[in-house]
Structure 1
Amino acid sequence: MVAVAHGSRDPRAAATVAELLDRVRALRPDLPVHAAFLDHAAPAPARVLAALAGDGAGAAVVLPLLLTAAYHSKSDIPGVLAQVRRRHPRLDLRTAATLGPDPLLTAALERRLAEAGVPAGDPGTAVVLVSAGSSDASANATVQTMARRWRARGWRGVVAAYASASRPTPAEAVAALRDAGVPRVAVASYFLAPGYFADKVRRETLAAGAYAVSPVLGAAPEIAELILKRHAEALAHQDSVAV
């Protein structure tokens, strides 16, 4: 499996991906797991896949470590795979789905909120679910759907907000809930790894009146489990197509 992350200039991001993939390896010691990054960090996916082809690997599952299906999963990764297929036609490349949406992500978000002192489903707390945001409207709509479904787990409310490319901003969402009389507003960080956006969201939402901001998802056990779930789905899908 080649797990492809977004990549960041912030060294904490690559370290978090490494920790997460170590957790995956602990769950599946028999499964070779390789990390790759689309930007700002090495190695690039094409280099990892070329090395696998050179080592005689017959197949590889490329798994996007992305929380929503947007430009990177719809354009960047397919472009890389098309290039690799041309250069290494004997390497059987299979592509897994992005991590989100999935109930395991909701469980991981609640774990991180609990670590920040926010009980799961607290009826006195409204949650702002913050993603990076995208110019792809369907990706933002996926986060909105997650927020709507999550509200049914007992929260006073759950609203989506975006760190970039769309509105409301996280600070705007927090301020609107506070202005509406919500006594406690917590921020759920829908980011895989720390970096610029996660730091900015924490700073600005606390200033806007949030009482807690969860850590990034990182190496939560639910995320490791979800990676293996997506890997199994990719293999099962390819097998069903072959049949």
Structure 2
Amino acid sequence: MAAPALVALAHGSRDPRSARTITALVDEVRAMRPDLRVEQAFLELSKPSFQTVVDRLVKAGHDEIVVVPLLLTEAYHAKVDVPSAVAAAGARHPGLRIRATSILGLEACFLEVLDVRLREALRVARVRELDALVLAAAGSSDALANQAVARLARVWGSHHKLPVTAAFASSSPPATGEAVRAFRAEGRRHIAVASLFLAPGFLPDRAAELAVEAGAIAVSEPLGAHPEVARTILARYAVGAVELVPV
């Protein structure tokens, strides 16, 4: 019996860098599991669309699909958009067994990726000293999603023994610029910002712009295509594939 196909489902963006990053990430997944049929898809704004990919897989003979949402927090896209898309795909293809897994979420191993990206940014900026950190995320109207980012920021700060503030690019205060200025008001001058985004786009760019305007000495790139992120996708897939097995 063939293993279920894996669809890595991202939100999508008008920024072409976002789709290129998702492609590179999915290539990492394929390299780790060349035995699997692995496809990327997007909810909106980028191609291929989720429904197009599902149609393609069904036409190729796949009757089981595990969808891994490439989302970091349990906000609107995770709670509404993904379930709706998966339900629509199931309705279009009677007999198809399709299941969405838990989102990527905010795994502790992603802090290692943040550190890698931040070290790259600090090296480019020729920075050797830090006295505060800002963890920049998308932000949500869902308070629980923002609280999850704040918890991760506390864990990260404890690891580095530095003060850390979570900041958000939309929906919720503080913005990255506000967070940087608050640290500067305390007398801290060497403040770096880590981008807790999966891929480049408008929100990461805006967060970086505001941080630099406020005096941040370095801003990292998003998590992007990294083996730890790819391994997390495969871990979610493994659980989803087991849940497709009839009891």
The TM-score range, normalised by the shorter chain, is: over 0.9
Question: 1:24 is matched with which residue?
Answer: 29
What are the Cα deviations for residues 60-104 of structure 1, in whole angstroms up to 9, with x where unaligned?
Answer: 110111111111111011111111112212111121111112112
CA distance in 1, matches of 2:143, 2:94: 34
**Shift in CA distance, 51/162, structure 1 to aligned 2, threshold 3 Å:** same
Q: What pairs up with 1:103-114 in 2 under 5 angstroms?
A: 103-114=108-119
1:99 aligns with 2:116: no
1:145 aligns with 2:151: yes
Q: What pairs up with 1:129-208 in 2 under 5 angstroms?
A: 129-208=135-214
1:213 aligns with 2:219: yes
* Deviation for aligned residue 1:55: 2.1
Aligned length: 238
CA distance in 2, matches of 1:90, 1:80: 16
**Shift in CA distance, 207/83, structure 1 to aligned 2, threshold 3 Å:** same
**TM superposition score normalised by structure 2:** 0.91
Structure 2 spans left out of the alignment, 5+ residues: 1-5
58-67 vs 152-161, greater mean Cα deviation: 152-161
Preserved contact between residue 129 and residue 161 of structure 1 (Cα < 8 Å):
yes
Preserved contact between residue 129 and residue 190 of structure 2 (Cα < 8 Å):
no
Question: Which amino acid letter does the alignment assign opposite residue 130 of structure 1?
Answer: A
CA distance in 1, matches of 2:92, 2:23: 28
Question: Which amino acid letter does the alignment assign opposite residue 63 of structure 1?
Answer: V
Match of 2:56 among 48, 51, 55: 51
1:4 aligns with 2:9: yes
What are the Cα deviations for residues 96-115 of structure 1, in whole angstroms up to 9, with x where unaligned?
Answer: 11111211211111111111
* Deviation for aligned residue 1:238: 4.6
CA distance in 1, matches of 2:207, 2:21: 18
What are the Cα deviations for residues 101-136 of structure 1, in whole angstroms up to 9, with x where unaligned?
Answer: 211211111111111127xxx994321111111111
Preserved contact between residue 86 and residue 99 of structure 2 (Cα < 8 Å):
no
Percent of paired sites with the same residue: 46
CA distance in 1, matches of 2:228, 2:69: 16
Structure 1 spans left out of the alignment, 5+ residues: none
1:74 aligns with 2:79: yes
**Shift in CA distance, 125/229, structure 1 to aligned 2, threshold 3 Å:** farther
What are the Cα deviations for residues 111-167 of structure 1, in whole angstroms up to 9, with x where unaligned?
Answer: 11111127xxx9943211111111111111110111112221023111111000000
Preserved contact between residue 29 and residue 230 of structure 2 (Cα < 8 Å):
yes
**Shift in CA distance, 38/28, structure 1 to aligned 2, threshold 3 Å:** same
